[in-house]
Amino acid sequence: MQQQSGRAVQAFSIGFADTGYDEDVDARAVAKYLGTDHNELYLSEADALDVVPMLGGMYDELFANSSQIPTYLVSKMARGKVTVALIGDGGDEIFGGYNRYLWADRVIRTIGWLPGPVKSALAALLTALPPRQ
């Protein structure tokens, strides 16, 4: 897109104080490499929490994706400079999704014969484990 444009394309990203979620350093490097006009917004926990009450009215279906809050906020920021935007969210699904979809089917076939209470106990055990950091 930048190669086809006679001016710097506007690029937008969201940054977080928590480096485990922050991809803005990489986004800035890509923008520099491509020669785009990089716009960034750093969010606090309070910024994200302010959006939560609005989520039910924003999307036409329920989904549990942590990107829904930053997607809204980066879209709001972009709207101040552009009318149409292309986003990169969802690219994983286009290129085959996550490997968890592949092994989930195998797990379901493997434990499908177990009685419901045993599967429920296994599910409770798995959800009790803390996520890997």
Q: What is the pLDDT of residues 63-82, one digit of tens each?
A: 777 788 888 998 999 999 99
Q: Which band of pLDDT confidence, cut at 50, 70 and 90, is reported for residue 45?
A: confident
What is the spatial distance between Cα 115 and Cα 110, in angstroms, rounded to a whole number? Answer: 12
Range in 52-56, 91-95, 110-114 with the lowest mean pLDDT: 91-95
Residue 66 or residue 3, greater confidence: 3
Q: Which residues contact 130 (CB under 8 A, 6 or more apart)?
A: none
Whether the model clears a pTM of 0.85, i.e. scores above it, the answer is no
What is the spatial distance between Cα 63 and Cα 65, in angstroms, rounded to a whole number? Answer: 6
Name beta bridge partners: 15: 42
Q: What is the pLDDT of residue 88?
A: 73
Q: What is the pLDDT of residue 133?
A: 53
The H-assigned helical ranges of the chain are 24-34, 45-51, 55-58, 68-79, 91-94, 99-111, 116-128
Tokens representing residue 120 in the block: 């429920």
Q: What is the pLDDT of residue 127?
A: 86
Using only C-alpha atoms, what is the Rg of the chain? Answer: 20
